[in-house]
Amino acid sequence: MSAVDITPHSPEKTSMSIRSVINNAGIGIALLLMILFFSVASEHFLSANNITNILTQITINLVLAVGMTFVILIGGIDLSVGSVMAFAAVVAGKAITLPGLGATELIILAVLAGVLAGMVCGILNGVVSAYWSLPSFIITLGMLNIARGAALQISGAQTIYSFPFAFEEFGSKLIYGVPVVFLVALTLVVIAWFVLNRTVFGRLIYGIGNNEEAVRLAGHPVFWYKVAAFSICGLTAGIAAIIYMARLNISSPIAGIGFELNAIAAVIIGGTSLSGGRGSVIGTLLGAFIIGVLANGLILIGLSDFVRQMITGLVIVIAVILDHYRAKYSAS
Amino acid sequence: MKLMKFAAAAATSILLSTSIAAADDKPVVGLIMKSLANEFFQNMLAGAEAHAEKRGDYELRAVGMQNETDFESQINAVENFITQGVDAIVVAPADSKAMVRPLKRAMEAGIVVINFDVALDEGAKKQQGVDLAFVGPDNRGGAKMAGDALGSALGEGAKVVIIEGNPGADNATQRRLGFEDAVAEHKLNLLDSRTAHWETEEANQVFATMLTANPDIQGVMAANDSMAIGVVKALESAGRSDIKVVGFDAIPAVLPMIEDGRLLASVDQFGQEMAANSIDLALDVLAGGPQLEGWVKTPIELVAGE
């Protein structure tokens, strides 16, 4: 399957893969330096417990960021993922607390309902922004409010609780110290990597971000590819909702406020260009790790909440500046 | 500019016409709450609506806000109520300073104003020459009750941490101070105090990390129950059943946790009745009763297991 050959930018393909290795290596080195710093600064940082903690803590952001990578690669943005996650969690929460069903049926029903709810929001985002060629920034800003309002309406602004035990167990289960929910996230990264790098669909996602018109002229249905990118993002928001519920054993309609920004930050720190067409989901994985390690490590070394917030902001800005030079360097 | 004026005039006339249409002999009470996305205010609204129906001798007009920091829309709500000529305004201010001036205008328009839930700032009141009583719970006292429960369960010298609400929010500050009062009284050892912005997931992450940094923590004081739930889940994942947790608000989701001991205690400030009680007070004043003075404390109660 030589899918890569139909990429509109096939002459660039070799340099692109080299560049992507260099990009990821840069982020990887930054992450390693951070880990090195925190392990010297805090005796607890590299403890088995803390590593489990970090893996748990980055899971939801990573899941959201995987979907976000697809949208940003086509040159879009999805501001609604935090709200969509809350909406999906409330829908799944309503399903899982239905009376008169067994635990297994309830869990299956809730997972399907939550994932479907997320996907529907994603499809709407995609259809509306692609059909009318509207900026996804505005459309997903609309969805941010629609989904949040729907979550509050359906739940009556009440926290939904008391889920089947098996569901809760899944949320806190560890395999050799690795949270099962993190393995779910990692599986999504692997699937996304395969789709983006080894399928026609994936190469066209890059293609649309690079030169939408060229892809269209080559006879590909750009509309549907865009809808697909947004529905993948909605899908991951639905999966994040299920993980949220399993971990915390509640569904809160005010969950996930501002999560979209962390997901976008993970993607951008991971070296994916905000203007689309360039980046990788492996970068996103590293980006999510950088944010998670930072949040964890800065608490461990005892920095105040406010300083912590400033440093996190600073890292995002530095990442974008680096990206600017990276783009300039690779263009010349 | 002209257009703006026209729009404002049009809006005013619409509001006026509705207030004329509603003019029967029942007094009209405008209730202004904070974010209705917050379970606490949602329950409060339900309580007020049930109250209005039960009493039946006044008309309730309730408004909430989009989120906790949207105080612009609260100011607009006060102005709208003034234009509508309501008889009383019962308000839970989103900002204890910004709301003083608009409320002063309402009082000058002859409207009975009752400030509940969050107290207006004393300095701002003095500056504007406003004399207004406060009807509400003692957040600091309530947090102290929860902290006391933790202190007596753990004993002197116990190592504790605080999970705070939104930095800058008045009730978050009061609850933190109440926890600190309990820390001082029971001679507890306060290791760390951090915000999780009232949110379950963030509390879960922040506390899990605090526990790593201080594995010898014995007690946790969370400024609301949503965050207490996140702490309890973090303790469960870490397999620590020796650490005691207290919360605040007594929301339904934590009652099973209090029953089975995962949560030591929470504090009920009867939010559902708070608006209704304030409306009662407003109607008493309207009926010719004496003006309220100082701080009318509403009940708070420690909710603990057997």
DSSP secondary structure string for all residues of B13-77: HHHHHHHHHT-SSS-EEEEEEEETTSHHHHHHHHHHHHHHHHH-SSEEEEEEESSTT-HHHHHHH
pLDDT band per the 50, 70, 90 thresholds, residue A15: low
More confident residue, B81 or B40: B81
Q: Is B305 inside any structural domain?
A: no
Instruction: State whether A248 and B230 contact (CB < 8 Å).
Output: yes
Q: Identify whether residues B54 and B127 lie together within a single domain.
A: yes
| A194 has pLDDT over 50 | yes
Is residue A32 within 8 Å of A24, Cβ to Cβ? no
Structural domain of B10: 2-136+271-297
Q: Which segment, A8-12, B272-276, B299-303, is predicted with the most confidence on average? A: B299-303
- The reply to whether B36 and B56 lie within a common domain is yes
What residue ranges define each of the domains in chain A, with the CATH number in brackets?
Answer: 3-331 (1.10.3470)
Compute CA A23 distance to the chain's CA centroid, rounded to the nearest angstrom.
19
What ipTM did this prediction achieve?
A: 0.80
Same domain membership, residue B276 and residue B238: no
Nearest to B212 among A44, A159, A252 (CB): A44
- Model confidence at B68, in pLDDT bands (50, 70, 90)? low
Helix ranges, chain B (H)? 2-21, 39-55, 71-84, 100-108, 122-128, 139-154, 170-185, 200-213, 225-238, 255-259, 271-286
Q: Which residues, 6 or more positions from B212, have their beta carbon under 8 angstroms from its beta carbon?
A: A44, A47, A49, A50, A53, A296, A300
Out of B38, B236, B253, name the one closest to residue A161 (CB): B253
CB contact under 8 A, B39 and A159: yes
Rounded to a whole number of angstroms, the distance from the CA of B55 to the nearest CA of chain A is 24
Say whether A254 and B212 touch across the interface (CB within 8 A).
no
pLDDT in tens, A171-183: 889 999 899 999 9
Distance between alpha carbon A75 and the CA centroid of its chain, in Å?
A: 16
Residue B239 and residue B90 share a domain = no
pLDDT of B22: 47
Three-state secondary structure call for residue B122? helix
Location of structure tokens 């609260």:
B74
Q: How high is the pLDDT of residue B12?
A: 44
B48 and B120, same domain (yes or no): yes
Using a 10 angstrom Cβ sphere, with 0-12 exposed, 13-18 middle and 19 or more buried, the burial of residue A173 is middle
Contact A296 B209 (CB under 8 A): yes
* Predicted confidence (pLDDT) at residue B14 exceeds the cutoff of 60: no
Sign of CA dihedral B119, B120, B126, B131: negative
CB contacts of A53 in chain B (<8 Å) are 208-209, 212
Question: What average pLDDT does the structure give for chain B?
Answer: 88
Q: Are residues B145 and B31 in the same domain?
A: no
Distance (Å) from the C-alpha of residue B236 to the closest C-alpha of chain A?
8
Express each pLDDT in B191-206 by its tens digit: 999 999 989 999 999 9
Q: Which residues of chain A lie closer than 8 angstroms to B36, CB-CB?
A: 152, 157
Share of residues in chain B with pLDDT > 90 (%):
63
pLDDT, tens only, A71-92: 999 999 999 999 999 999 999 9
Q: For residue B166, what pLDDT is reported? A: 87
**CB-CB under 8 Å, A57 with B208:** yes
Integer angstrom CA distances of residue B179 from B143, B151, B182: 5, 10, 5
pLDDT score recorded for residue A260: 95
Same domain, B91 and B198: no
Contact B208 A56 (CB under 8 A): yes
**Interface touch B233/A148, C-beta < 8 Å:** no
Q: What is the pLDDT of residues B208-257, one digit of tens each?
A: 999 999 999 999 999 999 999 999 999 998 999 999 999 999 998 999 99
Instruction: For residue B302, tell me if it sits in a domain.
Output: no
pLDDT band at A10 (very low <50, low <70, confident <90, very high): very low
Average pLDDT over residues A140-169: 92
| Residue B3 reports pLDDT greater than 80 | no
- Shortest distance between the Cα of B113 and any Cα of chain A, in A, equals 28
Two tokens, residue B49? 């609506």
- Confidence at residue B279, expressed as pLDDT on a 0 to 100 scale: 95
| Cβ contacts of A47 on chain B, cutoff 8 Å | 212
Q: Is residue B306 part of a domain?
A: no
- Residue B128 to chain A, least CA–CA distance (Å): 33
- Co-location of B161 and B243 in the same domain: yes
The total of structural domains in chain B comes to 2
Q: Which amino acid is at B16?
A: L
Q: Which residues of A touch B213 (CB under 8 A)?
A: 42, 44, 299-300, 302
CB contact under 8 A, B209 and A295: yes
A115, A117, A119, A121: CA torsion to nearest 10 = -150
Judge if B247 and B146 occupy the same domain.
yes
Is residue B115 domain-shared with residue B188, that is, in the same domain? no
Question: What residues have CB less than 8 Å from A290, skipping those under 6 apart?
Answer: A27, A30, A31, A34, A266, A269, A315
The predicted model gives B150-166 an average pLDDT of 95
Q: Do B167 and A296 touch (CB under 8 A)?
A: no
Note the pLDDT of residue A25. 75
Tell whether B69 is covered by a domain.
yes
Domain co-membership, B107 together with B164: no
Residue A259: what pLDDT? 94
Let me know if residue B190 belongs to a domain: yes
Q: What is the DSSP letter of B80?
A: H
CATH code of residue B228: 3.40.50.2300
What is the per-residue pLDDT across B35-53, written as a single tens digit (0 to 9) for each?
888 888 888 999 999 999 9
Tens-place pLDDT, residues A29-57:
889 999 999 999 999 999 998 999 999 99
**pLDDT at residue A6 tops 60:** no
CB contact burial A119-143 (16+ within 10 A = b; e otherwise) = bbbbbbbbbbbbeeeeebeebbbbb
pLDDT at site B51:
95
- Please tell me the number of Cα atoms within 13 Å of B124 on its side-chain side: 13
Whether residue B38 and residue A47 make contact (CB cut-off 8 A), yes or no, is no
User: Are residues B52 and B19 both part of a single domain?
Assistant: yes
The separation between the first and the last C-alpha atoms of chain A, rounded to the nearest angstrom, is: 31
